[in-house]
Amino acid sequence: MIKSLALAATATLALTAAAAAAQPAAVRNVILVHGAFADGSGWRGVYDELTARGYKVSVVQNPLTSFADDVAATRRALARQDGPAILVGHSYGGSVITEAGDDPKVAGLVYVAAFAPDVGQSTLDQYAEVPPPPHFQPDVQSDGFAFLKADPFKAGFAADTQDPDARFLRDSQGPIAMKALEAKVTRASWKTKPSWYVVATEDGAIDPRLLRSTARRIGATTTEVSGSHVVFFTQPKAVAEVIDQAAQGALGAAR
């Protein structure tokens, strides 16, 4: 009897171990890619949430001088990873990860209130479907770089931030070369990599209708979060939760 119980226990442990081995491991590396009119510092809240959960997080600093330069910056971050990674892009950063996401180290893509062009489309081409909301007003300079206009900045970009934070985001914004927004992507990585999408329900820079349409078009697992275009800044825990879900499920997902 004792021998039978021991054999049964051993068999149960073996089956449990086999089942555990069959489960895909979670991805432990995350790369955060910011969009236009911003820099990587806005990811701090998401960074803190993810590192507290044990993730190794890298934050790309896009030069915003050309689409090729920004894709190259993301590829440099990917080259430093010690294993599979989740690639996260906000806004224009979604175009960047769409191009760079074909890297074999990329296990999954997370789009946060982001663009996701198809091959032959640019970031700005996406607005042909649904135009930008009225308070989102780029001001193109004589050198071809654009800032967001100061007066409507909060309403168009960061409506749910406190006034001091909105002023800081406005005054520290990174100008982007318009040619970066006009560049056509040559790869659409969301066609081959599993994707997740955060819809910012109060987005003043990309109409939420366009966000939802984009998420459907790329077949992403979608989460709606109440927030402005900078939802990653104002709702870092909710955004980190989606990234966590992607990391947990990417290796077991198929396209």
As for how many domains the chain has, the answer is 1
Does residue 201 sit within a domain?
yes
Domain containing residue 172 = 26-252
Does residue 153 sit within a domain?
yes
Mean pLDDT by 10 residues, the chain (255 residues): 44 39 74 98 98 98 98 98 97 98 97 98 97 97 98 98 98 97 98 98 98 98 98 98 96 76
At position 71, the amino acid (one-letter code) is V
Does residue 38 sit within a domain?
yes
Q: Where residue 134 sits, what CATH number does that domain have?
A: 3.40.50.1820
Does residue 214 sit within a domain?
yes
pLDDT for 16 = 38
Does residue 49 sit within a domain?
yes
Distance, CA of 231 to CA of 160 (rounded, Å): 8
pLDDT for 73 = 98
Q: Whole-model pTM?
A: 0.90
Residue 149 C-beta-side C-alpha neighbours within 13 Å: 12
> Measuring CA to CA, how many Å separate 156 from each of 53, 105, 211?
32, 35, 15
Does residue 36 sit within a domain?
yes
Does residue 1 sit within a domain?
no
Does residue 71 sit within a domain?
yes
